[in-house]
Amino acid sequence: MNEFCHICLCPITVDFQLADLLMLPVDYHLCKTCQKIFELPNQEEMQAGKYSLKQSVLVEHKGLFTYNKYTRNYLSQLNTYGDCAAALPAAQSLKHFLQPMVSNAGQGNICLVPIPKRADIVHACGFELMECLLGMAGFMPSLFLQAGENGAEQGNFETDNLPAGRQFLFCGQMHAQVILVDDIYQSGATMLQARKLCEKNQCKVLQTVSIFR
């Protein structure tokens, strides 16, 4: 059956078994190159990802797919052009993972909190990627965290002291149950900082999740 790849638009022959393996419905078809974007992590990667390389703290983080060179180009495509068709596989994978957790507790009881990008990145592309992906997945994102500007008043912000000067302002509700969601998890420093800020405001962090790591 001939179709077109949702990401690069090249003609393909659909492999239904692979679509199932990638947790994607069969109408989200990918060519062989774009399939490499969604490479499942192996057990060693999953165990190593539990620890923040910066502070050696157990964080129990879940990365859905392995970050690689194909992933880097894919995220650049999403952040630069806001390609909705290309974003569907990532959104569907988020839905597949998060839906059981949300359904078991009822969506009103769990807040899905996206990690915000720096203000200059959002200004350049015109949208917040993770906020959009959660919306495409059928969820209502809870915007508990706001990205701060470099040079903002330190009294209002928590900073993770990254080279880029990432700062977050907490503007959510206290005592909430939250799942923190990001596009990519590398050293774990940004996710750990967001988690600490939520917990400081008496939120219970049930899980941290990224599409890639």
* CATH number (domain holding residue 193): 3.40.50
- Asked if residue 12 belongs to a domain, the reply is no
- Asked if residue 17 belongs to a domain, the reply is no
| Tokens, residue 1 | 């059956």
For strands 145-147 and 111-114, give the pairing. unpaired
- Asked if residue 198 belongs to a domain, the reply is yes
- Asked if residue 1 belongs to a domain, the reply is no
CA dihedral defined by 74, 79, 85, 86, rounded to 10 degrees?
A: 10
Residue 143's identity, in one-letter code, is L
How far apart CA 41 and CA 210 sit, in angstroms, is: 12
Model confidence, pTM: 0.80
- The fraction of the chain above a pLDDT of 70, given in percent, is 73
Q: Residue 52: is its pLDDT beyond 70? A: no
Structural domain containing residue 45: 37-212
| Tokens, residue 59 | 């964080």
Task: Mark 124-155 as b/e (b = at least 16 C-beta within 10 Å).
Answer: eeeebbbbbbbebbebebbebbebbeeeeeee
- Asked if residue 157 belongs to a domain, the reply is yes
In this predicted model, what pLDDT tens digit does every residue of 22-38 receive, in sequence order?
Answer: 555 444 578 889 989 99
Residue 32's identity, in one-letter code, is K
Looking at per-residue pLDDT, the higher value among 190 and 83 belongs to 190
Q: What is the pLDDT of residue 18?
A: 53
Of 14-18, 60-64, 69-73, 197-201, the range with the lowest mean pLDDT is 14-18
Burial of residue 14 (CB within 10 Å: 0-12, 13-18, 19+) is middle
How far apart CA 99 and CA 120 sit, in angstroms, is: 32
Residue 8: which residues within 8 A CB-CB, separation 6 or more?
Answer: 31, 33, 34
In this predicted model, what pLDDT tens digit does every residue of 149-207 receive, in sequence order?
Answer: 653 434 344 444 444 446 789 998 888 999 999 999 887 888 888 998 999 999 999 88
- Asked if residue 3 belongs to a domain, the reply is no
Number of structural domains (the chain) is 1
- Asked if residue 22 belongs to a domain, the reply is no
Task: Give the three-class secondary structure for 160.
Answer: coil
- Asked if residue 49 belongs to a domain, the reply is yes
